[in-house]
Amino acid sequence: MIIPCIDLMDGKVVQLVQGREKALEGDSPEEMLRKFSAFPQIQVIDLDAAMGRGSNDELVRFLAGKAVTRVGGGVRSVRRARALLDQGAIRVIVGTSAFSQNGINEAFLSELRLAIGPQHVVIAVDSKDGRIVVKGWQAATQLRAEDVLQSLEPYCSGFLCTYVDKEGMMQGTDLDWFRRLRAATSLELTAAGGITTLEEIRALGEMGVNAALGMAIYTGRLKLEDLSRLH
C-alpha cells in the first residue's frame, strides 16, 4: 500500500528535511485531499503537536472527516489518542512516548492498549545512525529498531519506520534496513524516509512493506498517476 503524507505546521501543509528545516509548503489541505483521493489511506502528522508548540486540531479534524487517516504528533497521553480517534482518525501514531530512557515505555503502552485497543495504535520506530531517535528525532536512544519490534507487538497493530538518515533528502532509502525489520515482525510495516523511486516502492511491496511518501510526491519526483497504478 502507498500512503501519501500530509504534515501540518502553523496551519499549513509542509515538508521538512531531517525533521528540522522546512523545505516547502504544499497546497491547501482541501487540494491535497483531492490529489490523494485515489489512495486508500492518508498519513497526517501534526508537527506543532509533536514539537510541543500548539496543535492543528481543526485541520486534523477536517482531514480525518474527509479521508481514511492515521494521525500522529504529540500523542503523549491516552486523552490525546482518544481525541484523535474522536476527530475521525482510524489509527493513532505513537512515537516518543513509546520509549523511555531505559527501553520500552511499557506503562504508557499498556495504558493505551487498555484504553483504545492495539488495533488503533501504530508505533513509530524511527532510526538514525542505527539507533532509535525520539523527541522530533533530536534525541537518540541506545535501542536498535530490529531489536525491539517483537517486544512492541502486543501494544499495536503495526509500525511506521522512518529511515531518518535520508528523510526528505531525495537520495533513496535503505532497503536492507527494511528487510531486517520485515524479518523481525509479522505485523504491518510502513516504510518512510528517502523513498524516491518507483523501483524502491516495488521492492518494498515485494517485501510486504507499505510506503509512506512525502517529499518525492510534493516535488513531483514521483507522479501521482504513476503511483495510483501501483497500489
pLDDT tens for the chain, 231 residues long, are: 999 999 999 999 988 876 677 788 888 999 999 999 999 999 999 999 888 889 999 999 999 999 999 999 989 999 999 999 998 999 999 998 999 877 999 999 999 999 999 999 999 999 988 888 887 777 777 889 999 999 999 999 999 999 987 665 567 899 999 999 999 999 999 999 989 999 999 999 999 999 999 989 999 999 998 998 876
Confidence at residue 133, expressed as pLDDT on a 0 to 100 scale: 83
Quote the CA–CA distance of 214 and 118 in Å, as a whole number: 26
Can you give the C-alpha Rg of the chain in angstroms?
16
- Using DSSP's 3-state secondary structure scheme, residue 63 falls into helix
| For the chain, counts of helices (H) and of strands (E) | 10, 15
Active site residue 7: yes
Q: Which residues pair with 100 in a beta bridge?
A: 103
Distance CA 39, CA 80 (A): 26
Cell matching residue 59 = 485541520
- Indicate which residue of 7, 48, 86, 147 is catalytic: 7
Q: Which grid coordinates are listed for 60?
A: 486534523
Task: Tell me how crowded residue 128 is: count the other CB atoms within 10 A of its CB.
Answer: 19
CATH number at residue 20: 3.20.20.70
Task: Report the distance separating Cα 47 and Cα 177, nearest Å.
Answer: 25
| Per-residue pLDDT, 19 | 67
The domain of 134 spans: 2-230
The reply to whether 86 belongs to the active site is no
Distance from C-alpha of 80 to C-alpha of 200, rounded to nearest angstrom: 34
**HSE-CB of 209 using CA atoms within 13 angstroms:** 30
Residue 179 CA, chain-centre distance (Å), reads 18
Decide: 8 and 217 in contact? Cβ < 8 Å. no
Q: Which cell numbers in the block locate residue 199?
A: 523501483
- Which among 27, 46, 57, 126 is annotated as catalytic? 126
d(Cα 72, Cα 70) in Å, to the nearest integer?
A: 7
Of 55, 67, 58, which Cα lies nearest the Cα of 31? Answer: 67
Which helix H or strand E contains 35, and what residues bound it?
helix 29-35
Residues 6+ away with beta carbon under 8 Å from 149: 125, 159, 181, 184, 185, 187
Domain count across the chain: 1
The sign of the CA dihedral 222, 178, 98, 67 is positive
